[in-house]
Chains A and B, each alone.
Chain A
């Protein structure tokens, strides 16, 4: 059990650029979640997958955000046309099934110049 892995750890980009983050969950976990955390706040739920199916999307997830989990293993989160307000820590978590403890990765810190 190597834990949840996220890449990259840090991403700095100019406003308007597209960025993509990757999350590798714990191998036997069926559920994968994405959260966003800004300074001084708790994580905010964005979306989650049961295997390859995206089952829920928060209203925080604007049309510029898209997430995939093509083979039910790793997931990617893409942000198109980044804006200043997208600067945050993006956290990935996984769990065996619903309502079970979610185990988090170290996150990807996004900074928009």
Chain B
């Protein structure tokens, strides 16, 4: 069975600080996909990134970066120089390529990120 754990329920930092959101996953598949989504107060889930299990290269997109480590089953997300607009709930999600859950995403419980001005 697949599982995603986001141990940090809530993080509060002051604007311009760097912050890392942790994500640990469990799966028995060798092929799988990892995602991060942002859910701002307005409620709509916004796709941020997708990673497949064969691509362990870290990725940077502007102030966002992702660190994927298969050895520790982690897919952490870092925001550099945080801004108030980054305040949201962030979800990590997993999709197995061959598992019984087929195509549905398994989400973690989310991390509520609060950026204080």
Could you tell me which A residues sit within 8 Å of B by CB distance? Answer: 31, 33, 35, 40-48, 55-56, 58, 89, 91, 93, 98-107
Contacts and interface: CB of A to CB of B under 8 A. Distances in A.
18 contacts: A33-B104, A35-B104, A40-B110, A42-B4, A42-B108, A42-B110, A43-B105, A43-B107, A45-B101, A48-B102, A48-B103, A55-B102, A56-B103, A99-B52, A101-B47, A102-B105, A104-B46, A106-B44
Contacts of B101: 45, 56, 58
A56 B96 CA distance: 14
Most B-side CB within 10 Å, residue of A31, A41, A89: A41
Given A42-B93, A105-B44, A107-B43, A55 B107 contact: no
B102 A99 contact: no
Contacts, number: 66
A69 B104 CA distance: 17
B77 to A, nearest CB: 15
Interface in B78-99: 91, 93, 95, 97
Nearest to A91: B45
Given A41-B109, A42-B108, A43-B107, A103 B47 contact: yes
Contacts of B74: none
A93 B101 CA distance: 16
Given A89-B43, A101-B35, A105-B44, A45 B106 contact: yes
